[in-house]
Amino acid sequence: MRSPGCARDTAAEEPENTLTTDQRTEAWIKHFQANPLGPYELHDYCGGGNFGLVFEALDTRNRQSVAVKVLSPTASSDGVQEFADEGRLLKKLSRSSGVVDLINSGTESMVLPHVNLEIPIQFHVMELAAGALSELLQDESRRNSLSWIERIGLWRGAIKGIHQMHLARCVHRDLKSSNLLLFVHPFNRTVCKVADLGRARDLSEPARLSVQQYAIGRGDLRFAAPESIYLQNSGDAVAFRLEDLYGLGSILYELATGQGITSVALGFGPKLLEMSMKDFAAGQRRDLSGLRSEFNRALTVFEAEMPKVIRERATSLVRQLCNPVPEQRRPTFLGRPRAVDSDLTWLMRQADIMIKTLSVPSEKRGRYRKAGGSEK
């Protein structure tokens, strides 16, 4: 886990209205590390997002190391709702082996520093990961140290987690490597699990936001599907599942290049979103099929990084999963698109085929070709 950021010694003593957001966060990190949340002692700060601060912690009752995600006291009302949503979804998915395991959720009173005022602090306790997939992929040397069998195996773990979510009528909607956690199992086997469900949705419950709000996506725009950037997500179950398919394709792209395919194909998200919102207000609708040339150029970067033996299959998969036209991401059977259901075994099977292909020694592949076989 990453080491905690170091807060200035005087940060908690300054008047709150003179502190920057980073200084407030640092002050809260120090305060949480100095004050247990019930039986949980918070140690190293691992990172945070829009509304949560994550710590490596110790459960003093059984001396077990865990991860504790604390709702930031400065979180917005949306952040508070997303934190609660994440807890409910993790509880619902507690038997899903491809999703990070929720151990406990709770609320503890904590006294604010220097004002002697108690406030409730909400938190989730989860299994402790070795790190996030993004930590391996953003550094080129660390990324290249991963074999392709390992990379496809990690991708299969992400597929499995989303498969289990979809079977439970849940969608993630914010897939990227920083939201995938790594766990080391016996025999040094590394397992990838889906995490960070703050922007996920339980499709069995009524929608909390408007169609327009869901269309925006509210995720990281460097990895967002085009229909979210261009405000064309219809906000129904099929649209959300197709959005997750795009996210899975983007993760495979990220495993090869260290970047999300959206950022390579379309550039930096906020500018695009600003332009698309102007078009939306003017009643103009972008033809998403017109983005294919940009995505095809991005795929040439991906192809160059793939091992030859799986290059054709992997590129075809990313082309399908990250098709800018959502309906064309559907799996096909005998040349016809299938219905977009919850079952992603077809995609796990594709990962298995690539792992098996990579596992065949090169000399055997050579003998197979001489005998008239195919590497596909």
Domain boundaries, the chain: 23-127, 131-359
Lowest average pLDDT, out of 8-12, 260-264, 265-269, goes to 8-12
Q: By the 8 A CB rule, do 159 and 348 touch?
A: yes
For residue 4, the model assigns a pLDDT of: 34
User: Which uninterrupted H or E stretch holds 315?
Assistant: helix 308-321
For residue 361, the model assigns a pLDDT of: 84
For the chain, give the percent of residues with pLDDT over 90: 65
Confidence check: pLDDT of 32 > 70: yes
Mean pLDDT of 47-66: 93
For residue 25, the model assigns a pLDDT of: 86
* Maximum pairwise Cα distance, the chain: 80
Establish whether domains 23-127 and 131-359 are of one fold: no
Instruction: Supply the mean pLDDT for the chain.
Output: 87
Task: Write out the two tokens for 278.
Answer: 């102007």
d(CA 193, CA 162): 9
Task: Write out the two tokens for 116.
Answer: 């002697």
Mean pLDDT of 163-180: 97
For the chain, give the percent of residues with pLDDT over 70: 86
Mean pLDDT of 364-368: 54
User: HSE (CB half, 13 Å, CA atoms) of 184?
Assistant: 5
278-324 pLDDT tens trace: 888 888 899 999 999 999 999 999 999 999 999 999 999 999 999 99
Per-residue confidence band for 5, with pLDDT thresholds at 50, 70 and 90: very low
Q: By the 8 A CB rule, do 107 and 101 touch?
A: no
Per-residue confidence band for 3, with pLDDT thresholds at 50, 70 and 90: very low
Mean pLDDT of 225-249: 93
Beta-bridge partners for 47: 54
Lowest average pLDDT, out of 3-12, 144-153, 306-315, goes to 3-12
For residue 7, the model assigns a pLDDT of: 32
Confidence check: pLDDT of 372 > 50: no
Q: Which DSSP symbol is given to 202?
A: E
* pTM for this model (two decimals): 0.87
Report which of 264, 272, 267, 216 is spatially closest to residue 239, judged by C-alpha positions. 216
Task: Collect all residues with Cβ–Cβ distance below 8 Å to 284 and sequence separation of at least 6.
Answer: none
d(CA 223, CA 296): 16
For residue 269, the model assigns a pLDDT of: 61
d(CA 305, CA 257): 7
For residue 111, the model assigns a pLDDT of: 84
Confidence check: pLDDT of 328 > 60: yes
Residue length, the chain? 376
Q: Assign a CATH topology to domain 23-127.
A: Phosphorylase Kinase; domain 1 (3.30.200)
68-114 pLDDT tens trace: 999 998 888 888 999 999 999 999 999 999 999 999 999 999 887 67
Mean pLDDT of 130-146: 95
Neighbours of 327 (CB within 10 A): 12
Indicate the SS3 state at residue 122. Answer: strand
For residue 368, the model assigns a pLDDT of: 43
Q: By the 8 A CB rule, do 68 and 123 touch?
A: yes
d(CA 272, CA 266): 8
Confidence check: pLDDT of 229 > 60: yes
Domain 131-359 sits in CATH at 1.10.510.10
d(CA 66, CA 55): 8
For residue 365, the model assigns a pLDDT of: 59
E runs forming strands in the chain = 40-48, 52-59, 64-71, 102-111, 118-126, 131-132, 170-171, 180-185, 189-194, 201-202, 332-333, 336-337
